[in-house]
Amino acid sequence: MTLPDAKQITRELPDLHEIETLEALKVFSDPLRQRILETLFESARTVKQIAAELDIAPTKLYYHINLMEEHGLIRVVDTRIVSGIIEKQYDAAAAGFRIKRSLLAPGQGEEDGGLDTVIDALIDPMRADLSKSIASGLIDLSEAPEQNRRLKIGRSAWRMLPERADEFYERLSALMDEFIDCDSDDPELEADPRASNYGMVLFFYPTTSARPHKRRKKEDDPGA
């Protein structure tokens, strides 16, 4: 995507930035700030360019941008004078973010609330995104939808030996890496009208649930 009226930055992003404090986690988890980061993952941008991408007035972004810069989530990569005013160009602090595990553990004093913050940050934007995708017709809720337009959602639990759980983690990670790495840098996707964006929120964890769910027969699966 070409960015008008801004210097093109040669990017050298670190692979990961670790979020180490609850305050930084709360800044990171805000839905609007997540959207800001998503635009910066694509390329460095000015506040005006971010505002245009998100269809939001620039004046509503400055507070969030300053907060994100203060907590090291984004960084200034270029400045210039425009009509006597300093204009900054921002980039993400890293290509990906990792949350310090201790922030998610209850009973950690000032760090309490980290898990709730993360879950809210995942669920609330997902709920809004699902509603928007259904309303626009991207998700087909008919009885016989096209496979690539289905809503696949559900909750399940089952028993496994530790080695089987290890295998599941490894194969799931490999599958995600395979599809992300295969398609994310394909220049033909930008020009192909058949290409669509897909989203996924995943929780997989050992649970205290006493009743593992039985697998439904395939013919009984409503596609949800």
For tokens 């759980």, name the residue. 165
* pLDDT of 4 higher than 50: no
pTM of the complete model:
0.66
* pLDDT of 2 higher than 70: no
CA 163 → CA 159, 160, 166, 207, distances in Å? 12, 8, 5, 16
CB hemisphere CA count around 2 (13 angstroms): 2
Note whether 143 and 59 are within 8 A (CB).
Answer: no
Q: What's the average model confidence in pLDDT over 217-221? A: 49
Residues β-bridged to residue 78: 89
Sheet containing 85-92: order of strands = 45-46, 85-92, 74-82
The whole-angstrom separation of Cα 47 and Cα 58 is 6
Burial (CB < 10 A; 0-12, 13-18, 19+), residue 29, is buried
pLDDT band at 223 (very low <50, low <70, confident <90, very high): very low
- pLDDT tens sequence across 191-211: 788 888 888 888 888 888 756
If DSSP states are collapsed to H, E and C, what string results for 160-222?
CCHHHHHHHHHHHHHHHHHHHHHHCCCCHHHHCCCCCCCCCCCCCCCCCCCCCCCCCCHHHCC
The whole-angstrom separation of Cα 66 and Cα 181 is 32
- pLDDT tens sequence across 127-167: 888 888 999 999 999 988 898 899 888 878 888 899 999 99
| Residue type at 147 in one-letter notation | Q
Note whether 104 and 114 are within 8 A (CB).
Answer: yes
Domain boundaries, the chain: 17-100
Torsion of CA 67, 73, 76, 82, to 10 degrees: -50
**Which fold is adopted by the domain 17-100?**
Arc Repressor Mutant, subunit A (1.10.10)
For tokens 């050992």, name the residue. 206
- If phi over 0 gives left and psi between -120 and 50 gives alpha, with beta otherwise, what is residue 30? beta
What pLDDT shows up at residue 182? 66
Strands 17-19 and 97-99: parallel
Q: Which residue has the higher pLDDT, 96 or 66?
A: 66
